[in-house]
Amino acid sequence: MALEEYKRKRDFKKTPEPEGQIVKPKGRERFFCVQKHLASHLHYDFRLEHDGVLLSWAVPKGPSLDPKTKRLAMKVEDHPVAYGEFEGVIPEGYGAGIVMLWDRGTWAPEVEDVGAALKKGDLKFTLNGFKLKGSWVLVRTGGRYAGARGGGDRSWLLIKHRDDWAGELDITEFAPRSVKSDGDFEDILAEDAPAVWQTNRPAKGGDAGAMLAEIIERAAKLKADRATTKDTKVQPSRRTASGALPRRTTRNTQKSQRLQKKK
């Protein structure tokens, strides 16, 4: 395990993603996370901490709680452990787009030797996240995706085992927001610069392109609304019958009070 490929793909002067390092867990539980990533395509990056890095798979359709639904998971380069808390906007370069921390928690292997299980292409494990729980398996497949992107060994399936945490609920639809900020993509983008992709959007055509165009618009509106709220003076309706201000005022109202006193 190493982070060479991760580092080679990124210019840390241009991306807010952490440069990171190999971090061996010392007596704490293993971390896992799922990052919803709108780049050239929407996908879910599934990451399990092992041997000081985050083993990573890109799952185009996201995890399914239904044991009958096997989800394609493409093995991608290991990521630094610090990446597991990342949420934000990658303005350009590799992975350009919006990253949301969709789920996080701890995981435990259901096998003695994780290294051997990975080599064999069959890793059974238990998740304890906010959204994903219970028993799962990642199995490598040489199936129809083999060779398509340079070697069938990158292609795995993520499958839920039948237990109390399995079900037909579509978890990506039911719980679409961030576990870190509670925001959706537009909120994350509004925290940054919604105009970042005025030209050269990371996703242009197709579903992802349409989705991104909508998110950019909503984020710009959120940002504009916030700017107006900041400037808002105390509204007459917020005054009590006596004309005094209500005791419980918001921070913005208190600020406008101070501004008004200065006048």
Dist CA 234 CA 242 (whole Å): 15
C-beta of residue 130 within 8 angstroms of C-beta of residue 137: no
Please say which residue, 37 or 104, places its beta carbon nearer to Mn ion.
37
Dist CA 53 CA 48 (whole Å): 8
Cβ at position 26, least distance to Mn ion in Å: 28
Cβ at position 19, least distance to Mn ion in Å: 17
Please say which residue, 45 or 186, places its beta carbon nearer to Mn ion.
45
Cα 141–chain centre separation = 26
Cβ at position 35, least distance to Mn ion in Å: 7
C-beta of residue 47 within 8 angstroms of C-beta of residue 63: no
Nearest C-alpha neighbor of 203 from the set 93, 41, 90: 41
Cβ at position 172, least distance to Mn ion in Å: 15
Contacts with Mn ion, residue ranges (CB under 5 A): 37, 45
Please say which residue, 37 or 180, places its beta carbon nearer to Mn ion.
37
Q: Identity (one letter) of the amino acid at 36?
A: K
Dist CA 105 CA 103 (whole Å): 7
Nearest C-alpha neighbor of 59 from the set 48, 47, 45: 45
Residue nearest to Mn ion (CB): 37
Nearest C-alpha neighbor of 88 from the set 168, 175, 196: 196
Please say which residue, 94 or 165, places its beta carbon nearer to Mn ion.
94
Please say which residue, 37 or 71, places its beta carbon nearer to Mn ion.
37
Cβ at position 88, least distance to Mn ion in Å: 13
C-beta of residue 212 within 8 angstroms of C-beta of residue 90: no
In order, the DSSP letters of 156-222 are EEEEEPSSTT--S--HHHHS-S-TTT---HHHHHHHS-GGGGSSS-S--SHHHHHHHHHHHHHHHHH
Please say which residue, 45 or 184, places its beta carbon nearer to Mn ion.
45
Cβ at position 30, least distance to Mn ion in Å: 21
Please say which residue, 12 or 250, places its beta carbon nearer to Mn ion.
12
SS3 32: strand
Cβ at position 133, least distance to Mn ion in Å: 23
